[in-house]
Amino acid sequence: MDTIFDYSVSGKNRFQLPEAGCEDYDPIPEEYCTVATVLPEVSEVEVVRHYTNLSRMNFGVDNGMYPLGSCTMKYNPKINEKIAAMEGFSAIHPLADASAVQGCLRVLYELAAALREITGMTFSLCPAAGSHGELSGAMIIKKYFQDLKEARSVVLIPDSAHGTNPASVAMCGFTVKEIPSNSDGDVDVERLRQLLDGNVAAMMLTSPNTLGLFDRNIREISRLLRENGSLFYGDGANLNATAGRARMADMGFDIMHTNLHKTFSTPHGGGGPGSGPVGVVDRLAKYLPVPLVAKGAQGYYLEYDRPDSIGRVHSFYGNFLVALRAYAYIRSLGAEGIRDMSDTAVLNANYLLACLRDLYKLPIDRKCMHEFVISDGDMPNGVTTNDISKRILDYGFHSPTVYFPLHIEGAIMIEPTETETKKSMDTFVNAMAEIRREAYEEPEKVKTAPRNTPVHRVDAVIAARKPVLVWEG
Ligand SMILES: Cc1ncc(COP(=O)(O)O)c(C=O)c1O
């Protein structure tokens, strides 16, 4: 595709700059101006067309179904964007005095209260992502055992955990020990029993796990951990499976995080800002990262004076506008709507699973929660998960998550989310059925896909090893 520079014609520009808005300014010192700025000289319509065309080369949840397992690409209501753009929220200064931003503090206070209602835990909204919530949780685990003067250094993590779980605890200095899943996809409790000793600080369980399964032994797991003096961490990034139906604290978890940018419908992907609040049961609340938002006689205020806190994990108080969108989402749904969200997420996933079970291999045959995993296990003519994931692009869908979780060979992880209609799911099923037919009858079509996208199949190794990140005209 042409770049904007290809339309540039020297001398074309008759631009007008807006008023500076200030009388005096210091020009940038010359020694810092080391590269000559070359701006394309184009007309307004060329700029509009260029960017509109660029936007059409991308795929987003506003274009079509985006069944990216684990990543919960649900539709984000536009009203949340409108609210987040309101000046009273978007133009506040992070150093403004609490008395001047009472409304914003109230949003944070009430969001933490809503999350407590949903999970049974007390939250700090500071972490900027799910993995950041995990790291904050691991720091809380560390401080807890430091205070007990116990040198526990191991965190147990099932093979069905999200990939960030082991990375986060390792970053905090813990040693990770993996627990295998049993043939039903649950944690192998016998193996857990064998691994538990005085060195185990915690176990971190992605719930539901990355197969989209709720661990049926969760009570037993939490009992064993408690008996061992270990903490139980729950990765609640995908709370759209259980919110409004079951609370993480009641399942026996001591610490958790959730992803506002997934479950609570704020946009994500492309590295955009997220929010991964970390929550704890009451006895651990003193360790939460600061600040928390509190309410006193003078109104809402940021509470920093918490001597046992692990300290700050983010500048100011986290990603406020992400929290605001989540607050708008929760308030507009209400308790009943939140329950309905989870019910529909689980119903949609089970509907898709039922439609696909005879078409693709199902490594673990159980009812699922909000997502499920199929595989390329019985594909003919050497057609692989990678081929299927590319061919689905030609049918106008984003690919599912592939080759994850790692313990399922050729995994294809599908999450329709609660925002998909039956019609769009049926269209997806038809496309998957057609791909299976092609795998038998016209395998080359699948193996050379995608064909209908602006960029055809890329060499993934070169793209990763030698990415071209700069336009060099
Ligand atoms: C179960 C689970 N845990 C943790 C994360 C990590 O969240 P983040 O990408 O915000 O760091 C994700 C993200 O997809 C997830 O699905």
pLDDT tens profile 44-93:
899 899 999 888 888 889 889 999 999 899 999 999 999 999 999 999 99
- Where is average pLDDT lowest: 115-119, 220-224, 259-263? 259-263
Nearest Cα to Cα of residue 455 among 59, 18, 99: 59
Cβ of 137 less than 6 Å from ligand 1: no
**Domain 79-332 and domain 342-463 have a common topology:** no
Ligand 1 site-directed mutation target among 259, 275, 401, 417, most atoms within 8 Å of CB: 259
Q: How many percent of the chain have pLDDT more than 70?
A: 98
- Overall average pLDDT of the 121-147 stretch: 97
Instruction: Please determine, for residue 2, whether its predicted confidence score (pLDDT) is greater than 90.
Output: no
- Where is average pLDDT lowest: 13-22, 151-160, 378-387? 13-22
Please, what is the average pLDDT of the chain?
94
Cβ of 258 less than 6 Å from ligand 1: no
- Between these two residues, 32 and 245, which has the higher pLDDT value? 245
Instruction: Please determine, for residue 160, whether its predicted confidence score (pLDDT) is greater than 90.
Output: yes
Cβ of 76 less than 6 Å from ligand 1: no
- Overall average pLDDT of the 305-319 stretch: 96
CATH 3.40.640.10 fits 79-332, yes or no: yes
Domain definitions of the chain by residue range: 4-56, 79-332, 342-463
Cβ of 70 less than 6 Å from ligand 1: yes
pLDDT tens profile 251-300:
999 999 999 999 998 888 666 689 999 999 999 999 999 999 999 999 99
pLDDT of residue 271: 60
Strand order in the sheet with 278-280: 122-124, 278-280, 255-257, 231-235, 200-206, 154-158, 175-179
Q: What is d(CA 444, CA 342) in angstroms, rounded to the nearest whole number? A: 40
Cβ of 259 less than 6 Å from ligand 1: yes
pLDDT of residue 214: 97
Which ligand 1 atom minimizes the distance to the CA of 210? 1
Ligand 1: residue whose CA is nearest its atom 13: 71
Other Cβ atoms within 10 Å of 433 Cβ, number: 15
Cβ of 438 less than 6 Å from ligand 1: no
Ligand 1 site-directed mutation target among 74, 131, 157, most atoms within 8 Å of CB: 131
pLDDT of residue 473: 60
pLDDT of residue 287: 98
Cβ of 160 less than 6 Å from ligand 1: no
Cβ of 238 less than 6 Å from ligand 1: yes
Cβ of 206 less than 6 Å from ligand 1: yes
pLDDT tens profile 410-425:
999 999 999 999 999 9
Task: Measure 134 CA to ligand 1 centroid, in angstroms.
Answer: 9
Which ligand 1 atom minimizes the distance to the CA of 276? 10
Q: Which CATH class is domain 342-463?
A: alpha beta
Ligand 1: residue whose CA is nearest its atom 8: 130
pLDDT of residue 35: 78
Instruction: Please determine, for residue 23, whether its predicted confidence score (pLDDT) is greater than 80.
Output: no
User: Model pTM?
Assistant: 0.92
Cβ of 168 less than 6 Å from ligand 1: no
Cβ of 235 less than 6 Å from ligand 1: yes
Cβ of 209 less than 6 Å from ligand 1: no
Which ligand 1 atom minimizes the distance to the CA of 131? 11
Cβ of 392 less than 6 Å from ligand 1: no
Cβ of 71 less than 6 Å from ligand 1: yes
Task: Measure 165 CA to ligand 1 centroid, in angstroms.
Answer: 9
